[in-house]
Amino acid sequence: MRVIKRNSSEVIFDISKIITAITKANEAVEEDARMTPMQIKRIAEAVELSCIRMNRAPSVEEIQDLVESQIMAHGAYEVAKKYITYRYTRALVRRSNTTDEKILSLIECCNEEAKQENANKNPTVNSVQRDYMAGEVSRDITTRLLLPEEIVKAHEDGIIHFHDADYYAQHMHNCDLVNLEDMLQNGTVISGTMIERPHSFSTACNIATQIIAQVASNQYGGQSISLTHLAPFVQVSRDKITRSVKEEMEAVGTVLTEEQLSTIVEKRLREEISRGVQTIQYQVVTLLTTNGQAPFVTVFMYLGEARNEQEKKDLAIIIEETLLQRYRGVKNEEGVYVTPAFPKLIYVLEEQNIHEDSPYYYLTQLSAKCTARRMVPDYISEKKMLELKVDKNGEGHCYTCMGCRSFLTPYVDSEGKPKYYGRFNQGVVTINLPDVALSSGGNIEKFWKILDDRLELCHRALMCRHERLKGTLSDVAPILWQYGALARLKKGEPIDKLLYGGYSTISLGYAGLYECVKYMTGKSHTDPSATPFALSVMQYLNDACKRWKAEHNIDFSLYGTPLESTTYKFAKCLQKRFGIVPGINDKGYITNSYHIHVTEEIDAFSKLAFEAQFQQLSPGGAISYVEVPNMQQNLEAVLQVMKFIYDNIMYAELNTKSDYCQVCGWDGEIEIVEEDGKLIWKCPKCGNTDQSKMNVARRTCGYIGTQYWNQGRTQEIKERVLHL
């Protein structure tokens, strides 16, 4: 069994340290108040047993809490007083240099929490360490100076989660829907250099990757671009290649028929499209932005965005090439093709590609093949989205999320035109729903009162996010605010007008609906008798967002939080506050958003149909998934799931496994096993446990992760059941 120290490094549990600590406190009291050595030993053994029952690595603080309880349970109150006093004194000393210790542990790569905080960051790399170090300083300033004490305490206690506190000191926001069309068609400026409208498709792709990198370095969330914005440059290249071929033929005195000319031009054009798409794939994977990771970018593939038939045909070629290259994968350091984490791909299911006789059904078949092997693309149903995303003019719209799942609200500009590209999200604060339930003790009246109090706390925290952005000048991030990614403001102009009236959103996140409902009703929210309560909680959260929107003229929106490291933090905080409650907080994780619990047996179609009603009540963002085995030999089943998505749910994905062991060449599933009380990854063929010598890709929160996860998320991944 391992123990998490205060600097987040891990050590092997040592019962002798507990015995030594109790003995010192014991010797500090009068002899008649002392415990016997046997009593001290029994206390230490009881603490050890409690830690083992946690099924995870306990923290030093948790162990010390257990020691206090056991000493008092033995009636040794004077000893307990000495032990508590010693803890308090040491805490005061530590408080003065906590940030220093954390930074030093980051540099020495012994901070387990940081090493597993982000499944797409490698904490041994200098750029990542630099970002984490800056984050610790920013977090320290945030908690000591910038945020109200009650919000800091609620965050530390796991009652709420104030996302990305390590970026709060700067005037930065969350997610973006990049207006790539404006930047390519009208030009932009990157690092002080004017970038004019590109004269070829491949150049447009190259510029797009530079824009992606610049955007990622000026915000802390995900971003999305649309391939539709690249499609016009296919015709630009076609015309350019046609002129070139004609000149070549004239130079050698050859006359081509129109058919011959078209054949040569289209062949060269395909080659250029292949190079352009490859540029996006490899640049995104290999780029390291200023926060030490590849850009969290999503590429949107929607035929319905094309403005004419020729552009649609050209867009289809780009989509096809994108899928083919993702299916192939990228080579790892051993030269073996593996699954990359980015860019995330989203494919829109629509009437012109969903049926066998649809003109672009071949793209849907290719998507199914790619999903079965590489876990992407994910799927948006145009049919369902047009029903759910309706603007004030009564018109439905289909558009991409920002990053993995954050959706903008429908918006119409001053001219009555719908607008999505160029908008953004201000930030997220998440409420811990299981904590609300456990705090109520199961009393329904108390539950709603506590929920009101917690929502008001989230409201105040979200307004801190908003106020931090208010007054920000466009100069802090020219690529975003001055040169087209989000706006074209003047130099020195505040961004304030973009924070109101629905242009941007701000998100109330929620987590653990399953555990909340289970505690309050005794049943999973899939049980027909418990589902109404689950839906009423979701509606209550939406009603709160509606009230806040009316009060502030800011688009508050309910968001199904993609917990990564926070799932572990919330679970640990729940155990610390309420002890182990079987079936509720007895694991190292809590359930993401509205999802059905990962251990619950349910078929893929029933899961998607059930979760669709909750996705509808999560307008600020959510995604559903089904866990599937290797489907590469059963593509028809994948296509059936995709067709079901089209008819029943707005946004969903299929999770499979895509692993490779560099030691023995195993390309099946890398297993999760327990050793010394810790979950580790192990090759089932050769027994390799060296994470640096294996490639593991798992979906964690909408994104694919490739750098491993904390113990809570790893347990969640291990316990997932198949739905197909």
- Kindly report, residue by residue over 226-278, the tens digit of the pLDDT: 999 999 999 999 999 999 999 999 999 999 999 999 999 999 999 999 999 99
171 is a domain residue: no
In the chain, the percentage of residues whose pLDDT exceeds 70 is 92
Given pLDDT bands bounded at 50, 70 and 90, which one contains residue 136?
confident
422 is a domain residue: no
79 and 188 in a single domain? The answer is: no
84 and 201 in a single domain? The answer is: no
Q: Give the number of domains in the chain.
A: 2
Residue 564 confidence (pLDDT): 77
565 is a domain residue: no
Beta strands in 120-248 (DSSP E): 160-162, 176-177, 188-190, 193-195, 223-226
Question: Range of 248's domain?
Answer: 183-209+230-388
Catalytic one of 133, 172, 175, 385: 175
The 10s digit of each residue's pLDDT in 147-193 is 999 999 999 999 999 999 988 988 999 999 999 999 999 999 998 99
150 is a domain residue: no
Tell me, yes or no, if 573 is annotated catalytic: no
Catalytic one of 62, 136, 321, 564: 564
335 is a domain residue: yes
187 and 289 in a single domain? The answer is: yes
193 and 312 in a single domain? The answer is: yes
Tell me, yes or no, if 321 is annotated catalytic: no
Which of 388, 405, 436 is the C-terminal boundary of a domain? 388
Tell me, yes or no, if 224 is annotated catalytic: no
Tell me, yes or no, if 402 is annotated catalytic: yes
Given pLDDT bands bounded at 50, 70 and 90, which one contains residue 693?
very high
Catalytic one of 118, 202, 224, 425: 425
Which of 51, 72, 96 is the C-terminal boundary of a domain? 96
Tell whether the torsion through CA atoms of 708, 712, 713 and 718 is positive or negative.
Answer: positive
**DSSP bridge pairs for 430:** 161, 509
56 and 193 in a single domain? The answer is: no
Catalytic one of 7, 174, 206, 542: 174
| Backbone dihedral angles phi then psi of residue 602, each to the nearest 5 degrees | -160, 145
Catalytic one of 51, 404, 463, 464: 404
Tell me, yes or no, if 308 is annotated catalytic: no
Please state, rounded to an integer, the average pLDDT across all residues of the chain.
91
**DSSP bridge pairs for 10:** 4
682 is a domain residue: no
Return the structure tokens found at 209. Answer: 């990757």
Tell me, yes or no, if 406 is annotated catalytic: yes
85 and 192 in a single domain? The answer is: no
64 and 190 in a single domain? The answer is: no
As a whole number of Å, the CA-based R_g of the chain is: 27
187 and 286 in a single domain? The answer is: yes
Tell me, yes or no, if 174 is annotated catalytic: yes
60 and 190 in a single domain? The answer is: no
The CB-side HSE value for 396 (13 A sphere, CA atoms) comes to: 12
Tell me, yes or no, if 564 is annotated catalytic: yes
Residue 7 confidence (pLDDT): 62
How much is the average pLDDT of 567-580? 91
523 is a domain residue: no
187 and 90 in a single domain? The answer is: no
Tell me, yes or no, if 175 is annotated catalytic: yes
203 and 351 in a single domain? The answer is: yes
Distances (CA, A) of 590 to 112, 448, 452, 567, 593: 20, 21, 22, 5, 9
Which of 69, 96, 123 is the C-terminal boundary of a domain? 96
Return the structure tokens found at 335. Answer: 């030269």
248 and 375 in a single domain? The answer is: yes
107 is a domain residue: no
Residue 119 confidence (pLDDT): 47
How much is the average pLDDT of 362-374? 97
Residue 16 confidence (pLDDT): 93
Whether the pLDDT of residue 412 is over 70: the answer is yes
